[in-house]
Amino acid sequence: MNKLIATLIAGLFATAAFAQTPATKPTAPAAVKAEAKEAKTDAKATAKETKAEVKAEAKTAKVEAEAKKDVTVAKADEKSAKADAHAKAHKTKAKAHAKAVKAEAAAAPAPVVTK
């Protein structure tokens, strides 16, 4: 972007310099055309470089955004899996406790009733 601006400013100064030359002084049209063609070629090359840089930056930003998104999704999946495992462990402990209470009740002798 800076190169493009610099090229445009240089072009403005060049056109201002040509505009201030006296009209009586003969100028070589071939030389002027060659300079204009060279300036145009430079401007095109600068524009291509700038466009390539912008594309590369955009591509990099897109890849970084996707990587951040993937990390966020992975963290969410990890939290979900951890919560599921915790719930499953709690359920298993509850079942084991219920079995233990049931077994203890079955193993306890029946109370003796006396009259």
The answer for 73, left when phi > 0, alpha when psi is -120 to 50, beta otherwise, is alpha
Write down the pLDDT at residue 26: 55
At residue 81, φ and ψ (nearest 5 deg) are: -65, -40
Write down the pLDDT at residue 2: 82
Write down the pLDDT at residue 4: 84
Listed as ranges, residues in the chain with pLDDT below 50 are none
Write down the pLDDT at residue 13: 78
